[in-house]
Structure formats: structure tokens, C-alpha cells
Structure 1
Amino acid sequence: MTVTPIHIGILNLMHDKVDTQRRFQHVLAQSDFPVKLTFLYPQQHYQGRPVPELVQRISQPLVLDELDQFDAFIITGAPIEQLPFDKITYIDEIHRLIDRLNELNIPQLYICWGAMAAANYLYGIDKHQLPSKLFGIYSNHLLQASPLLAGLPDGFLAPHARYAELDHQQVFNHPDLVLEAVTPGGNLFSFRARHHPQYFLFSHLEYGREALTKEYRREKNAYPDREYAKPQNYYLDPIHMRGPQFKWQPAQHIFFDNWLHLVAHRIQAKNLVKE
């Protein structure tokens, strides 16, 4: 019997767009569920200038009237967390996208900056700058049971890479949000909405073994005169940045498999209602 793939739209806002697409193609193919991925870009981001040839070749423009083709949707991180939301040229398009996803009741996974922007828009959670970049592999402690964290032990390892954070206490106190896991320092790993299929992930769980090294080198090459912290708890030889360890691979597999199970269950339930 032919199984219809789960069709997932991914708004790719990351700097390394090709690597990002490869990462999501890899992590979402590890489950038993077949998937079809469509990568998209925000049209407002290129308003008044040509869309780069690479972006056109590997992705499609975001068209809000076509969102009903998707079974689920992901908004990735973006290297803009130090900017206020109102300074992002395409923030209105992001807001309209979120509104439309909610109208269609499509399951949403927001990652890093995508999670910050969505939680700020939907629930008024404030963003603030961290004293220094949270960068490396950290343990994460479970606060509440979660279908997407099922199977993960308390203290599971995951990569974090960001300069900003949402207000932890606002998330904890919000009646419509469930804070699920944090680092020992109180930085967010994830929370979810109580009444909507919205999930907010602050770890870059989609990253592969070399991704933190690539991120460090990309920033260092862009501004060679600046000092950048090396990723913590990552290398076998941290002084020479050798031997990156893929400590979060178990969490990566479990998390994305759980999310696809959740999406598949919603598709099945929707089909039963139609019948």
C-alpha cells in the first residue's frame, strides 16, 4: 500500500541555506514516516532587490494562499536575534504566515529565532540579549512531560547557539504555555502551547556533528578582529578545536521522530473526521 508522505513546509531563514536544507532532509528522513519537504523564502526579505539565484534554485517564494497544501510547518532560526523584531524587514510576513497557519490548524515547529518571533507575536513574550552567546552542548532538565520529549532522559544533551533569550518567567507564568525543559543555567530548551499545535524549540537539534564548528568559523571569518567564544563541551580537544562530538544525536532522533508521530496522528484524526 502506498503511504502518502507528510508534506512539510519549511521557511528557511538560516544563513547557510544549503546546509540547513540538508540537515532537515536528514533528520526528517530518519523516521518511519515518508516525508515531502518544500523549502520556502519570505518574499518581503527581497523586496526591492533581486532574489539570489541560489535561493530561487533551492526554494520557493512563500505564498500564504497555498499553505493548505502542508500537513505541518517549520520556521527555522535566523542569525538576527540581536535585532529588535520591528527592525526585521519581513516580520509582517512572518506574522501573516503564523496567522494563516493557525487559521488552518497546521502543526507548527518554531526553532530558535523562529520560536522567539512566534512566541513574542502570539503570546507577548519578551526577548532580551544574553550577556554572552550561549554556544555549545548543554544538558537539559525536564520540567513537564511532553509528547515530543518522550523517551529522553532528564539531563539529555543538546546544542544551543544564540545571543538572545525569551523571558523565562513570562513563559512559566503564561496560562497558555507549558515550559518543558531548560538548561542548568535556566536557558530555554522548549515550551509548547496548551491549546494549539505550536511547539517552540530553542536548541538547534537539527544540527549535525560539524555544525557548531562551521558556525564559529563563519562568524570569525566575517569579523576576524572580534573575539568569539568557542563552542563549549563539544570538542575532545577544545584548545585546538579538534574532535567535535555528536553528543545530541540520540535527542535529535527521538525529538524529530516524536514530532512526526504527532503530525501523523493529527492527519489520521483529520481523515477520520472527513470520513
Structure 2
Amino acid sequence: MPINIPNSLPAKQTLEQENVYLITDDRAAHQDIRPLRIMILNLMPKKIETETQLLRLLGNTPLQIDIDLLQTATHVSKNTSSEHLLKFYRTFDEVKEERYDGLIITGAPVEMMPFEEVDYWGELEQIFEWSKTHVYSTFHICWGAQAGVYYHYGIEKRILPQKMFGIFPHSLTNANHLLMRGFDEIFQVPHSRHTGIDEKALYGHPELEVLSYSDISGINIAVSHDCRRVFVFGHFEYDRRTLANEYFRDVEKGMDNVPFPYHYFPNDDPAMRPPFIWRGHANLLYKNWLNIVYQQTPYDLNDLK
């Protein structure tokens, strides 16, 4: 079954070329089913790129999904046109009375700042609190995951001695969890971050469980016991060249000590094409999450508690 997105969303053409199954608003209105309602709070600067990455993964399931895009009203995006935001994005004031099966909160390039100094932190706190009663399951990514465990559980982030940048091997700590169903014992995940979390505090929190870990990059996936909150500290959604584009961008800027991406370019040669070795597990993770949401969300979202 397809994902339902606006007909003129820029991601539509790319996804159609990749044979991702889409449906327009007009056609969806004539189907007598109850689709999953998924909201994406997109905090990334290049919003169209992130939209496409996430929609590609959400569209690879048997479920019909209605997508809403959310932006913060308290931050002005410098990398996405105001026309795009006005046409396709809503603000929290516009959705706060609505209910959703799932919410995805992306990463953001603000990790070196204290949470309270981020200009939209107050608004994000409102969204976190709203999600407790208006969303069945929230999927937090990278900085969004760090912000989520801080807000909900008081777990602090930590500045790393050097940027965690590249593709890192991870192993399962609970292979029987529904979110990890079908995962290989060792799998690869992209990371791009200057901060980590207080792992001792997360491991010790009675409401949280760690599902996967890397000896190099640390905790990768953690969940609340009821799966109402999922925290993913890497970037399963990244495209083949996302890390390459970031690396070359920083080199061209003349930045000092630009880290070379770990285990990414063949033979560590940046002229070579990076192999896309995390795509299968990325699709599997999102498919598993949507299946959990589908199985456990009340049919009538007004019954959410």
C-alpha cells in the first residue's frame, strides 16, 4: 500500500522514479480504509532532502500512510524556501488538537548548543509534552533522540572528543525485540554527530531498554518498554552520498581538522563510490516500527491515552 503525500511535493518525482508506491490526496479520499497518520517534525536545514529520505523508507511497507509535515514556528529556515514551507508544512498551533499514530522527530545541526539555548526549544518542549497524549509512538533521530531522552528522562548529552563520522558496525542487545525483528547480528549504521549521551544513565533508567550497541559509536537504539518512544542515535535514513556531501562541503569550506568518514569510501579513497551497506536494515527498522504502531494503536485515535 502507498504513502499519501501532496501531489506537488518535490520528493514525489524522485520517489516515483524509484518505484516507491505513492497515492495522491484525491485518490486516497475515495478509499474506505483507516490509514496510519504519521507526522514528521523536520528540523534539518535541507528539508526537501530529509523529506525524501524518510518518505522513501515509510513508503516501503504494506500499510497506507497519510503524511503531515511539521515545522517549528519559532525558527526561520535559511536553506528551504518560504514558499515550500508555506505550501507543505504546518505548525504546532495548527495540529495540536489532532492525534497521530506516529511522530518522527529528525536530527538538527544544533548539538553543540545547550538544549535550552536552541531558539525553538520551548516549542519543542510543547511538542514533546503533546506527544504523550496525542501520538501513539514517537521515533526520535540523532539530536532529536538526544533531546527526547533529555526531556522525558533527564539524561544529559556529552560532547565527544572528536566527531563521530562514518559507517559503524552495531550488534543486537535484544534480538527478540519486535523492533529488531529480522536484523542481522551485525549491521552498519551511518553516524554524523559531535555529541553522545550519558550511556550509564540510559542503561540505568528503569523505563528504557537498549536494543543495539557499537563498541565504537556507542548506544544506537533505545526504546521505552511500551515502544511509545523510540530513540535512534544514528542516521539509518541517510542516502548513499549524504556523508560524502557533508565531508566535501567541509573540506571546500577550508575547515580545520575535517574528520575522514570511517569505513565509508572503498580503500579510504574519496574518489570512489561509497557502497550502500545500511539500506536493507534502514527499511527493516522503519517497517518494524510501523508494524508495531499498526498493531498497537487504537483504531479510533480519540481513544489514545
TM-score, scaled to structure 1: 0.90
Displacement after TM superposition at 1:266 (Å): 2.0
SS of 2:285's equivalent in the other structure is: helix
Deviations 1:16-62 (A, max 9, x none): 21100011111110111121211111111139xxx833433442223
| Structure with more contact order per residue of length (Cα contacts < 8 Å, sep ≥ 6) | 1
Displacement after TM superposition at 1:203 (Å): 1.3
Tell me, yes or no, if the aligned pair for 1:67 and 1:101 is still in contact at 8 Å: no
Q: Quote the Cα distance in structure 2 between the aligned partners of 1:67 and 1:213.
A: 41
Displacement after TM superposition at 1:82 (Å): 1.1
Aligned mate of 1:120, from 150, 165, 170: 150
Tell me, yes or no, if the aligned pair for 1:64 and 1:100 is still in contact at 8 Å: no
Q: Does 1:228 align with 2:266?
A: no
Aligned to 1:166: 197
| Corresponding residue pairs, total | 269
Aligned to 1:245: 275
Q: Quote the Cα distance in structure 2 between the aligned partners of 1:85 and 1:272.
A: 31
Aligned to 2:290: 260
Tell me, yes or no, if the aligned pair for 2:164 and 2:217 is still in contact at 8 Å: no
Aligned to 1:182: 213
TM-score, scaled to structure 2: 0.82
Matches for 1:1-275 after TM superposition, within 5 Å = 2-46=32-76, 52-63=82-93, 65-66=95-96, 68-144=98-174, 145-185=176-216, 187-195=218-226, 197-221=228-252, 223-267=253-297, 269-271=298-300
Mark the CA change 1:98 to 1:243 in structure 2 (over 3 Å): closer, same or farther: same
Deviates more, 1:107-116 or 1:232-241: 232-241
Aligned-residue sequence identity (percent) comes to 27
Displacement after TM superposition at 1:219 (Å): 3.4
Deviates more, 1:156-165 or 1:138-147: 138-147
- The unaligned stretches of length 5 or more in structure 2 are 1-30
Tell me, yes or no, if the aligned pair for 2:111 and 2:194 is still in contact at 8 Å: yes
Tell me, yes or no, if the aligned pair for 1:82 and 1:164 is still in contact at 8 Å: yes
SS of 2:234's equivalent in the other structure is: coil
Displacement after TM superposition at 1:2 (Å): 4.0
Q: Quote the Cα distance in structure 2 between the aligned partners of 1:273 and 1:33.
A: 21
Mark the CA change 1:94 to 1:3 in structure 2 (over 3 Å): closer, same or farther: same
